[in-house]
Amino acid sequence: MKKKNGIFKYERIERDIKDRIGKGELRPGDLVKSEAEMVQQFQVSKMTVKTAMNRLADEGVVVRIQGKGTFVAPCAKR
Amino acid sequence: MKKKNGIFKYERIERDIKDRIGKGELRPGDLVKSEAEMVQQFQVSKMTVKTAMNRLADEGVVVRIQGKGTFVAPCAKR
Amino acid sequence: MKKKNGIFKYERIERDIKDRIGKGELRPGDLVKSEAEMVQQFQVSKMTVKTAMNRLADEGVVVRIQGKGTFVAPCAKR
Amino acid sequence: MKKKNGIFKYERIERDIKDRIGKGELRPGDLVKSEAEMVQQFQVSKMTVKTAMNRLADEGVVVRIQGKGTFVAPCAKR
DNA sequence: GTGGTCTAGACCACG
DNA sequence: GTGGTCTAGACCACT
């Protein structure tokens, strides 16, 4: 995993999602962009997106459901 | 997505059918529940039920007949 | 949905691979096109490609290795 | 196939679809209700719905695409 | 009214 | 960056 500007790439993605939740752009229950879309948006590998989203899932910020998508947790922390 | 005991959903369904055969609840020639009923019972999609039942058919545990149903094989293995 | 020659889409894909092996375009050990490429080439969904390739794997024509790719079997039948 | 009030059940369904197109409720390219929904709506068997929709498809009123749905034909006749 | 094929995606496990 | 599992449907073939 490489850093850019002193932070890990996956931290940039985590930060972005949390910011959107903080601003109310993403609300509890909302569908978050898919892995494939994030790969495009952030110009990173699927593994980097996965690392970011799994960290957010571990923190309880999002819930990932196979075959359905990634959703903002019902009581998302930020 | 929650996996039970680290196995796939279709494996849970396969196991359930095999267990019923092992216990004698399902006997050779018996009609097995329809895909639609299993979708309800196991709370999975139709394709997951299909994966499970097709695997059992490949193993020779059941026989599937289009338009009729799924039956326990005449000499079902367990 | 249009079927060509009254056969299923996955059968067209199976036939294509077998033909390439028969012609010597694909030889034992060769890497076969990825699922994503076949989705583009045959204009079908990923699941249809999977059905085709899994059937070829069952027949022993190809070997599929998660994380690596699909290869023509060492002693491919045609 | 049974009649009700002197007309075949599938004729009632065909009539309904054509009427909706005539009124502009359904326009070229629109997705028509699924087979399963029509079974509920008209309280008929799947075979009856199928007969109706296939007749409409033969007439060029609708286009049926496996895995996607039934659509009002680009230049639907009525 | 069953099982079969197919869509257009999603996330997961692995290398 | 592959193949694997899974969703929530659709229409198709058959009995």
In this structure, which amino acid lies at residue C49? V
Q: Residue D6: what pLDDT?
A: 76
Confidence of residue D49 (pLDDT cuts 50, 70, 90): very high
Q: Residue B2: what pLDDT?
A: 40
Residues C45, D65: C-beta atoms closer than 8 Å: no
Secondary structure in 3-state letters for chain B: CCCCCCCCHHHHHHHHHHHHHHHCCCCCCCEECCHHHHHHHHCCCHHHHHHHHHHHHHHCCEEEECCCEEEECCCCCC
Mutate one of B1, B2, B43 to test the A interface: name it (highest A CB count within 10 A).
Answer: B1
Q: Give the range among A5-9, A19-23, D32-36 with minimum mean pLDDT.
A: A5-9
* B66, pLDDT greater than 80: yes
D46 touches strand F (CB under 7 A): yes
**Could you give phi then psi for residue C39, rounded to 5 degrees?**
-55, -45
Q: Residue D4: what pLDDT?
A: 62
pLDDT, averaged in runs of 10, over chain C (78 residues): 68 97 96 97 97 95 96 76
CA-based nearest residue to B60, from B74, B45, B49, B47: B74
| Beta pairing partners, D69 | D65
Q: How far is C10 from chain D (nearest CA, A)?
A: 14
Query: Residue D32 burial by CB count (10 A; 0-12/13-18/19+): exposed, middle or buried?
Result: buried
Which strand E bases fall within 7 angstroms of a protein CB? 1-15
Q: Residue A74: what pLDDT?
A: 87
Q: Residue D60: what pLDDT?
A: 93
| Cα of D78 vs its chain's centroid, Å | 12
**Could you give phi then psi for residue D2, rounded to 5 degrees?**
-100, 155
Which residues, in sequence order, are CB contacts of D61 under 8 Å at separation 6+?
Answer: D17, D18, D21, D72, D73, D76, D77, D78
Q: Give the range among A20-29, C36-45, C50-59, D67-76 with minimum mean pLDDT.
A: D67-76
D50 touches strand F (CB under 7 A): yes
In this structure, which amino acid lies at residue A15? R
Question: Taking the model in full, what pTM does it have?
Answer: 0.87
CA distance A21 to A61: 9
Neighbours of B, requiring at least 3 CB pairs below 8 Å, are: A
Cβ contacts of A65 on chain B, cutoff 8 Å: 1
Confidence of residue B77 (pLDDT cuts 50, 70, 90): low
